[in-house]
Copies of this chain bind each other. A is one copy, B any other.
Amino acid sequence: MGTTQLETVPEPKYWHLKTVLAEALDSEFAVGEILPNERELAARFGVARATLRQALEQLELEGRLQRRRGVGTTVAPPRMGVSVSPLHTWPGAAGDDWEPADCAPGVPPAAVASLLGTEAEEPVHTVRRSRVSGGQPVAAELLYVPEDSVPDLSAIDAPAGPARARAVLRELQRLGLEGEDRAVELGSARAEDAKQLDRLPGAPVLVVTTRYFAFGRTAAVSVATYRADTCRLTFGDSGDVEIHHGQERQAS
């Protein structure tokens, strides 16, 4: 009864390891610095490599580390704030930092079709865009626009590719935007998005689903996947606020 029981619930090794590493990152490493490789770190801490990797995985999930196959593990800079504020403008409006990449007709996934209220197998304009911030890709987007939302689009304008993407976006601007709403959830990058984001398939992403309303219905749906490791999504004007984990220095 009088015994001091510090660990009624024994802490998993990888959890403790993560804490130790996190403290080391704050105090002993600079942003961009390369950590010792996994085999050496595991040996140094006296654990199996798999256990060490469990700790590294969590730190990467929290945006503290960046791991690249064939290169090594580096200390990540603080997450960048990426604004996803409702701007009450259509995608593709002047000033947004998305780059149209492609456009082709395609059947949207069932979840999107249900949001659009289209028939199950009905093809819609599918515009792919990518967003770059701070010199690296942060998001990949698929924008689904039913054919009848942009009736004036001349099919002859551009059969496919970036030119057609721009044409669809241009047509959207003509519509009266009545509103929009957003949802954010956790997902994992599909192969296509992963390549666009310079990550491996399955990497954690924040999926932002936006519905655009016009004519009293959903006129377009955007599904944007943001790199969860490097991005902090901001709503409002908190985009330029710095978040500090601890002391931070720049690698020389």
Contact = CB atoms under 8 A, between A and B. Distances in A.
A211 to B, nearest CB: 6
Given A201-B15, A244-B111, A246-B110, A211 B238 contact: yes
A120 to B, nearest CB: 11
Contacts of A243: 111, 114
B58 A232 contact: no
A33 interface: no
Interface stretch (A95-103, A157-165, A183-191): A183-191
B15 A235 contact: no
Contact of A228 (B181, B186, B244): B186
Interface string A170-204: 00000000011111111110000000000001101
Interface in A59-98: 61-63, 79, 81, 86
Interface residues on A, range: 35 or more
A181 B111 contact: no
Quickly give the copy total for this chain. 2
Interface in A186-244: 186-188, 201-202, 204, 206, 209, 211, 228-229, 231-238, 241-244
Nearest to A50: B50
Contact of A186 (B18, B206, B246): B206
A115 interface: yes
A49 interface: no
A181 B114 contact: no
A183 B236 CA distance: 8
Contacts of A18: 202
B244 A114 contact: yes
A242 B209 CA distance: 13
A245 interface: yes
A58 B182 contact: no
Nearest to A112: B243
Contacts of A242: 114
28 contacts: A15-B201, A18-B202, A58-B202, A61-B188, A61-B204, A62-B186, A62-B187, A62-B188, A63-B186, A79-B185, A81-B183, A111-B244, A111-B245, A114-B243, A114-B244, A179-B236, A181-B234, A181-B236, A181-B237, A182-B238, A183-B232, A183-B233, A183-B234, A184-B184, A184-B206, A184-B234, A185-B231, A185-B232
Report the 5 A-B pairs with minimum CB-CB distance, sorted nearest first.
A181-B236, A186-B228, A181-B238, A185-B232, A182-B235
